[in-house]
Amino acid sequence: METKRFGTTESELAEAAALLAGGDVVGFPTETVYGLGANAFDAAAVSKIFQAKGRPSDNPLIVHIARREDVDKVVRAVPDAAKRCMERFWPGPLTLVLPVSDRVPSEVTAGLDTVGVRMPDHLIALQLIDAAGMPLAAPSANRSGRPSPTTAAHVLEDLSGRIAGVVDGGAAGVGVESTVLDLSGPVPMILRPGGVTREMLAEVLGEVQIDPVLASGVGTPKSPGVKYTHYAPRGEMWLVAGERDQEVIAERVEQAKRAGHRVGVLTTEERANEYPGAIVIACGRRRELATVAAGLYDAIRQFDHEHADVIYAEVFPESGVGLAIMNRLRKAASHRVIHT
């Protein structure tokens, strides 16, 4: 299959939308990462997402909409808490988990009685969904387990020849996937941290809990990105935590080089000159964690391009968007952590 790369003109978006309406899958930009979209009401089209990604079928998908009223086509009920979140955070990087309507096939929900739905804060995404004429089920547009794509080039790197097309809308902004908030139970619960932080949600909802499955990975996932290894480079990644992190990373780099490895260090701009002899990639500025989130996946992919087979990564404070950054880093490192 030839994968066509579309621009963002009206005619090109119409062509990409026609592919979606015909049951094909198409990559498209959002403000978080690039998504791989298919008609959310077409089970056969949704199945092509899983085939292209090599994604386990028990991993649910998020439905993307272009208009607030389209929520009612996807879910059975919209509680007051959801309405408050929509008013504050939509369009934006917040997915709400709500009781699913009968129109949405089980392929989207992995057999659950809930579905995640969001309205992306990205003009091209909204135009494409609107032109397609239906909500789009869309996980990240990468091979399962790989770092999520933040450019069209990343999508083609993983999925060229496996999908019908990709709309090139430039680099994504937030850089990590949406926050997933479960509102189907008595207390709002974050199933996956993202650009809308716990602190921001608490201002609107009061008490907000964090799903214990985030830490353990045990149980039936109601959100993508929880149960399986995700975001991983091809090399073995280790997180290094503690006051002696720089010293220990430098020691580990020398040990790995003596063993014949190509060694990478994931750091920030402030520390980029601290690790001579390593493949050093800065993912952003430590004093501005939003830049780290925006650059994280591209940095991880760069280690693959540099053929690094061992990578040591610094860690970040787990407040605000730092919670999302550390969630992704733990998954990328398969929870391997060196405590200094």
**Residue with tokens 């060694």, as numbered in its chain:** 263
CATH fold group of domain 4-216: DHBP synthase (3.90.870)
pLDDT, tens only, 16-32? 999 999 999 999 999 99
d(CA 157, CA 32) in angstroms, rounded, equals: 18
* pLDDT > 60? residue 227: no
- Find out whether the peptide bond into 120 is cis, omega within 30 degrees of 0: no
Question: What does pTM read for this prediction?
Answer: 0.93
* pLDDT > 70? residue 254: yes
Q: What residue type is 69 in one-letter code? A: E
Quick one: pLDDT at residue 222?
59
Beta bridge partners of 247: none
Lowest mean pLDDT among 133-137, 214-218, 275-279: 214-218
* pLDDT > 80? residue 248: yes
Provide the H-helix boundaries in 220-262: 245-258
Three-class DSSP category at 202: helix
Query: Is 157 exposed, middle or buried (CB count within 10 Å of its CB: 0-12, 13-18, 19+)?
Result: middle
Domain residue limits, the chain: 4-216, 236-339
Quick one: pLDDT at residue 288?
97
Quick one: pLDDT at residue 214?
75
Lowest mean pLDDT among 122-136, 226-240, 287-301: 226-240
CATH class (in words) of the domain with range 236-339:
alpha beta
Contact 32/177 with Cβ under 8 angstroms?
A: yes
What is the C-alpha R_g of the chain? 20
Three-class DSSP category at 312: strand
d(CA 22, CA 39) in angstroms, rounded, equals: 9
Q: What is the mean pLDDT of the chain?
A: 95
